[in-house]
Structure 1
Amino acid sequence: MGAAVQGGPGSGPAAPVALRDLLVEVNDLKRVRSAGRQGSIAERLFAQGWGLLTGGASPEDVALDITATALAATRLCDLDAAFLTAAGLSDQAVSEVLVAGFDAVTEAFDPGLRERLRTRLRTRSEAVPGPLPGFVGALAQQPRAGVTCPGRARILLEPPENHAEHCLMVAVYGVALSPFYRADPTTVFLAAMAHHFHNAAMPDAGFTGEMLLGDHLGPIMARTAQWALDELDALLRESVVRARAVLPDDATAEGRAFHAADCIDRVLQIAQHLRAASLTMETVLNDMELVHAGPVKGFHDRVLADMRIP
C-alpha cells in the first residue's frame, strides 16, 4: 500500500488516499443505533473491546476481532453475529454474511491485513469478557467538546459524539492505516483505545480549555489518566502504559499511525455534519434511489409527481 512515512518534505505521501472512502463510511458507526441496544455501534464495540481485554484476551486478538467486526458492520450495521444466530442462521451462514459485509468495503486494504481480519470473521471467538472498568461507561457519557479555538466562541454541532465512540474509531482507523506506516497494529489499537483516559473524569473543554489551564494541564491530565489506569490489573495496565508511550509525538511508526487516525476522525466527525447540511434531494432521489426499484416504483413516481414532491 505504501512505504513507511518519514514525515519530512519530499518523503512521499503522509497517508493512503485509497482508504479515504472507507474511513468516511466507517465513521457512521458512531451514529448507527438499534432497538434494544444501548448506544451506537462504536460505543458498544469500545465496551466490547475493553471487556475482552479485562477478560484476559490478548491485545492482538482483541485488535483484530474488534476491527474486523467494525468493518463488517459498516454495511451490515447491527445485522451482527448475535442477531444472525438468533434469527436461525448456521455458524457457516453467519460467517458468510459477515465476510460478505467485510469484503464489500475493504478492497483497498493491505492484502495481508485484510486476510488476517477476514479470518477473524470465519471463526467464533471463545473469549469470555471480564468486568468493565468504570472508565468505559464514563467515557461513553462524556461528550466531546466540539470545535474550539482559543479566543473564539465554541462551535457546537448536535448531537455530539462521546469519547468512547472517538476512541473506538481511532483504534479501528489505526489498525487499517498501520500497514502504510509499517506500524504494529496491536500497539496502535491499544494506544487509541486508551488515549482519552483522562476524559473519563475530566470534562472536555477542548483546545480552548486546555490553553486556559496553562501549566495545570499536564498534571491534571496525568492524574486523571492514572485513575483510569489504576482500574486495570497489573499485566494489562503494563501493556496499556507501553502502548500509550507512542502518543506524545510522531517519532515512531505507531505514533504516526495513531496521529493520522486521530486527525482523520476529528475532521470527519465535523465533515459529516457539513455533508448532511448540504445534502440535496437530487442526491437522495437519483443517486441513492430513495424510491427504489420494485413492483410499485412506477406508482410511487406518479404519486410524487402529482403531489409535487419534492
Structure 2
Amino acid sequence: MPTQGTAAAAPLPLRDLLVELGDLKRVRSAGRAGSIAERLFAQGWGALTGGAAPETVALQVTASALAATRLCDIDAAFLVAAGLDDEQASAVLVAGFDAVTEQVDPVLRDRLRAFLRPSQEALPAGPLPDFVAAQAQQPRAGVTCPGKPRILLEPPENHAEHCLIVAVYGVVLSPFYRADPTVVFLAAMAHHFHNALMPDAGFTGEMLLGDHLWPIVARCSERSLNELEPSLRETVRSARAVLPDDATAEGRAFHAADSIDRVLQIAQHLRAASLTMDTVLGDMELVHAGPVKDFQDRVLRDMRIP
C-alpha cells in the first residue's frame, strides 16, 4: 500500500463493519459475565496460555467476533445446547459471518470462514493471567485533554474490551496494509498491559506525570509480561515492538485500528443520543411485519406513541 501522497490511509469500504464490530463491547447475555468483547479477550489469552498457535488464536477469535456481530451470543455452544448438530450450528455461524464480511479481503475472508467449520478444533482453555481480569475491571478514561475537564460517557468501556476490538480490527485491516495479522492481533491484545496496574487518567494524566510516564508504563507492562511463560512472553514482546510508531506495516495496521476504535467508541454515544423515532420505527422496523402488525400500528396511533 502506498504511504505517501494522496493514497488512502485506510479502507473506507470496511467502515460500516468496524462500527458494528465495536458494539460487541456492549452486548451481554444472561448467565455470561461481561460483554462479548470482554469474554473474547479472555478466551484469546486462555488459548495462548493453553498452547494454541498465535495465528490460530488470531483467526479463530476474529472469526467468532465477526459471526457475533449479527448473531450476538447465539454461538456454537448455545446452538449445540439448543439441539443443533455440528453441521447445522456451523451453517448458522457461517451465515452470520457472511452477512457482514462482503468487504473483507477475499483471501482473509476464506481463511476466517474456515474457522467456523465443524471440523475446526475448539481453542484450548489455559490458565488466565491476572492481567486479564484486571484489564476487564479497569475503565477507560473517557475524553480527556490537558487543561480541560474530563468528559465522562457512561457506561465506560474497559481495557479488555478496547484491546479485543482493536485486535479484531487489526486482523480485518491487515490485508490493506500488507501486515501480518497475527503480529497485529498480539500487539493489540497486549498494548494496554500497563493498565492492568495503572489507572487510566487519559491524556491529561499522562501529561501531568511528565518524565515519570514512560518508566511507570514500562514497569507496569513488564509485570504483565512476566505473567506469561518464557516462550509466549518473548512472542508477545516481539509483537509489541510495532507499537511505538507507524514505520512498519504492522504498526500502521495497529495504529489505524486503535485510532478507529477510540473515535468510534465516542461516536456510538453520540449516535445513541441523536437517535430518532423515524429511524427506530421506519428504518429499523421496531414494530415489524407479522400477523398482528396492523393491530399494533393502531394501538400506537390511538395511544399517540410516539
Q: Structure 2-normalised TM-score? A: 0.99
**How far apart are residue 128 of structure 1 and its match?**
2.0
Indicate yes or no: 2:80 matched with 1:85. Answer: yes
Question: Counterpart amino acid of 1:207?
Answer: F
Instruction: Provide, for residues 239-287 of structure 1, a one-character-per-residue CA deviation record: whole Å limited to 9, x for no partner.
Output: 0000000000000000000000000000000000000000000000010
Query: Residues 205-284 of structure 1: matches in 2 within 5 Å?
Result: 205-284=201-280
Provide structure 2 residue ranges, at least 5 long, that are not aligned to the other structure: none
Who is 1:102 aligned against?
A: 97
Provide structure 1 residue ranges, at least 5 long, that are not aligned to the other structure: none
Aligned residue pairs total 305
Q: Runs of at least 4 residues of structure 1 off by over 6 A?
A: none
Aligned residues: CA RMSD: 0.6
Indicate yes or no: 2:168 matched with 1:168. Answer: no
Indicate yes or no: 2:290 matched with 1:288. Answer: no
Question: Counterpart amino acid of 1:31?
Answer: R
Who is 1:36 aligned against?
A: 31
Indicate yes or no: 2:107 matched with 1:140. Answer: no
Instruction: Provide, for residues 110-134 of structure 1, a one-character-per-residue CA deviation record: whole Å limited to 9, x for no partner.
Output: 0000000000001332432110000
Query: Residues 174-193 of structure 1: matches in 2 within 5 Å?
Result: 174-193=170-189
Of residues 78-87 and 123-132 in structure 1, the stretch that sits farther from structure 2 once superposed is 123-132
**Percent identity between the aligned chains?**
78
Q: Is residue 114–residue 120 contact of structure 2 (8 Å, CA) maintained in 1?
A: no
Q: Structure 1-normalised TM-score? A: 0.98
Question: Counterpart amino acid of 1:24?
Answer: V
